[in-house]
Structures are given as structure tokens and as C-alpha cells.
Amino acid sequence: MKKRKFTLSTTQVILLSFLVTILSGSILLALPISSASGAPVPYIDALFTATTSTCVTGLVTVTTFSSWSVFGQAVILLLIQVGGLGIITIMSGFMIMFNKKMGIGDKLLIQDAFNLNTMSGLAKFIKNILFGTLIIESAGALLYMPVFVRDFGARGIWVSVFNAVSAFCNAGMDIIGESSLVNYASDPLINAVTSTLIILGGIGYVVWWDVLRVIKNRTSRNKRIFKYLTLHSKIAIIATLALIFGGGILIFIFEYNNPLTIGELPLSDKIQVSLFQSVTTRTAGFASVPQENLTSASSIVSIILMFIGGSPVGTAGGVKTVTLVVLLCSAFSTIRNKRTATVFCRTISIGSIRKAVAVVAMFFVILLSSTVLLAYVTDAPAIDIIYETVSASATVGLSRNLTPSLGIFGKIIIIVTMYFGRVGPISLAVALGSGNETQNVVSNPTEDIIIG
């Protein structure tokens, strides 16, 4: 009898690529040359840092600014860039650079890595991602330099590059100091550049090209760009704007009189900090106010924003804006006794609804499991634990100062949560079940059950 050849599915390859990148990065960060003091950092902290960098989360057990040498910081930045773009994108970019033709397996990898519906034009898609990322990150670094070079001298150039890559990849890690962007909470340039990089990375690559396509194809007489966008782009843009401004307004109201956050600031700065908090919770992780000083109401709003995250096919995490909109439209159509869910005069496919349900369900499983386990190994307040696990699973990186105090088991729980949160709940489910997939030849009987 011929033995069955063992092969990995495309989704399993993606999962393993992240895992190999994390382990390789942890080995480099555990070397003495990576440490600022010259003494090796404990391996658990090196592994934690490699995971949070590759998964573009931003939670840290040791301070990035003071714990790592320039070599260590360069390793972290490389992991952030690889994690933000995806190892499959980097590998495909090298194939294109050396004029190597993509096989069907390579195309399937890219399609799964970006959750695309088609394999046409993938080489051009990868080129556009790499070129667009280079342009945006370079522009961000140049815009940072006037402030950071003023404050840090020549080192400000490195700080600017690091911050630009970290912001675009929604990683939230920085080498500015011990308190992230708290000292720049009232700086309009730093706030504007960081927020723009976060939004551009989180809105999704397909939205970039769709907007550029419509602008290019519209005549000078017809400026109605939004009308000609795809349904995906419309949902992503509207949901992003609604969450940013809606979240900013709520945080502004809840923190208005809080002396520990924005209570003592002028009105213009209160608005600026509130909007930045709303943006950064969309999986970026930079903090312009100490998260542990937020009111309970603002903390809950931040948790909701972290849970939702950014948009698909980008650098952000969370369940994604489009997923949320699809579920809400499906729920409202059921409430109104409609047979189909619609948005912007378009019917949402059953497949999209089922996938949205699967993503949220798997996300909840990961989130609830990590929350219960972390609560078991630490005696921190419940709000701090939930904030930490949502931040880890949605790859945000904001913390109510809990991460540095975690023991070894707490660190392992967050490491696993960040990994599962980055590779994606649906990818995890497909990968684990790919070897046992069977074809249903006989349809089972249908029977109604009571819901609600």
C-alpha cells in the first residue's frame, strides 16, 4: 500500500512561518550583543519581545528604550516589519525581485495570507504593497525628524525611522523613553503623523488601491469618488471614521474632568488626546496618556475599540471593521424579518456572514481562554486582566501597567494569546482542521431549534 505523502496546507505554512520568525528572533534577542547592558536578557523576555514584535502587538516585559542595544533594537524593528507585512509577502517580494515565476502554490500562499478572493494580479499586488509601504514609512520618518532630531540629536533619525515603521505596522513599540508618547501628548505634529500612519496601515491595502483606482478613472467633472468604490472599501472607510470619531467623543466626555489624563489640559489638547486614544486603540498601542489612569467608562470604550480593531488585508488586528458591519447587518436583517442582509444597496453573501461568525466565535474562544488563565495566575484587578488579554489577542499593545509585573506563566499565556491573535482565529481553525476534512455525501435531516 502506497504511503500518503505528508503535506502542509497553505494556512499551516503561514502559521509556521510566523512561529519560525518568532523563534529565530528570540534567539537573536537572547544574545549578549542584543542587550544594552551586555548581559543576556532572560530567554522568556527575549521570546516575549520577539513574539510581540512579530505579532505587531507592542506589549513589553522589558523597556525597549533601555533594555536593548542598537543591534537588539534593529532586530526588533526587522521583526516588526516582517510581522506587519507578513513573511509570505517578504518571500514573494524576493521572488519578484529575482524574476522567479510564481507557481500555483506560491499564489495560494499569498491568497490565504491576505484572505483574498482571487489569485489574479498577485505579483502586482505584492509590488504595490512593498512600494507603498516604503513610501509611507519613509514619509513618516521624514516628518518625525524635525521633532525627534531636535530632542535627541543625531539619534533622532533612528528614533524617527523606528517610530514610523512601528506606527505603520500598528506595533506600538518605541525607543523614545520609558513612557511611550506621553511627553508628546500635546504635540500636533507627532499626533498627526502617528495617527495617519496607524490609519493607513490599518485601513487595508485593498482600500488604498481601490481609492487610487477611482481617483485615476474619474473625470475632472465627476468628483463622486465614494460612489464608485467597492463595497469592501465603503464599509472599511465608513466604519473606520465612525469608530475614530465616535470613540474620540466618548473618551473626551468620560475623561474631560479626569486630572490624571486630560482634565488639566486646554480644550484643544483634550480633543487631540481623545482622538489619539481612539486611533491608537485600533491595534496600534502607542500611549499618550497612562492607560491605568483612564476612567472605567473610557477603559471599557477602549476595550471595545481594541476588540474591533482595524480593517482586513492590512497591518491591524482585532476582529476587523468589516466583520463587525457584516454581523450587524445580518442581525438587523433578522430583526426586520428580511431574508438577506444588505448594506449600501448591496446584498451580503451568506459565505461572508458565516465567515464573520466564525472569526468572532474563534476570537471569543481565544480571548475568554486567555482571560480565565491569566486571572488564575495573577491577582490583578479584573479590568486590568481583561484590558491585557483583549490588547494581546487583538495585537494592540496597550496595557494598564500589568505586563511588566507578570510572572513566567503569565508571560507564556500572553505570548500564546498574541500569536493566536496575529495568525487569525479563522486561519487557526482552518489549519487545525485541514487534515480531517471530509466530503459530506449524505445530507443530514434538518430540524429547527429554539434560539434566544
Whether 438 maps to a domain, the answer reads no
CA atoms of 201 and 224, how far apart (whole Å): 24
Residue type at 201?
G
Tell me the HSE value of 165 on the side-chain side, using a 13 A CA sphere: 24
> Which pLDDT tens digit goes with each residue over 58-84?
899 998 888 999 999 999 999 999 888
Determine which helix (DSSP H) or strand (DSSP E) holds 343, and give its type and residue range: strand 342-343
Provide the domain limits for residue 179. Answer: 10-429
Q: Which residues pair with 346 in a beta bridge?
A: 343
Q: Which of 200, 146, 155 is nearest to 175 (CA)?
A: 155
CA atoms of 421 and 14, how far apart (whole Å): 13
Helices (H) and strands (E) in the chain, counts: 18, 2
Q: Output the average pLDDT for the chain.
A: 86
Q: What percent of the chain has pLDDT over 70?
A: 84
Tell me the HSE value of 334 on the side-chain side, using a 13 A CA sphere: 9
Whether 212 maps to a domain, the answer reads yes
Question: Which of 5-14, 87-96, 97-106, 378-387 has the lowest average pLDDT?
Answer: 97-106
Whether 447 maps to a domain, the answer reads no
Per the CB < 8 A criterion, the answer to whether 9 and 431 are in contact is yes
Residue type at 291?
Q
Given a cut of 90, whether residue 141 has pLDDT beyond it is: yes
Per the CB < 8 A criterion, the answer to whether 371 and 394 are in contact is no
Whether 5 maps to a domain, the answer reads no
Q: Which of 286, 300, 215, 225 is nearest to 255 (CA)?
A: 300
pLDDT for 436: 47
Q: Which of 311, 245, 255 is nearest to 278 (CA)?
A: 245
Q: Which of 343, 341, 361 is nearest to 351 (CA)?
A: 341
pTM: 0.88
Determine which helix (DSSP H) or strand (DSSP E) holds 347, and give its type and residue range: strand 346-347
Whether 444 maps to a domain, the answer reads no
Whether 439 maps to a domain, the answer reads no
C-alpha cell at 100: 522567479
CA atoms of 226 and 44, how far apart (whole Å): 48
pLDDT for 74: 96
Whether 434 maps to a domain, the answer reads no
Per the CB < 8 A criterion, the answer to whether 440 and 413 are in contact is no
CA atoms of 181 and 346, how far apart (whole Å): 42
Whether 375 maps to a domain, the answer reads yes
- Number of domains comprising the chain: 1
> Which pLDDT tens digit goes with each residue over 291-334?
999 999 999 999 999 999 988 877 888 899 999 999 999 999 98
Question: Which of 30-34, 83-87, 360-364 has the lowest average pLDDT?
Answer: 83-87
Question: Cα dist. 195→28, 92, 164, 165 in Å?
Answer: 31, 29, 11, 13
Neighbour tally for 41: CB within 10 Å: 24
Per the CB < 8 A criterion, the answer to whether 124 and 116 are in contact is no
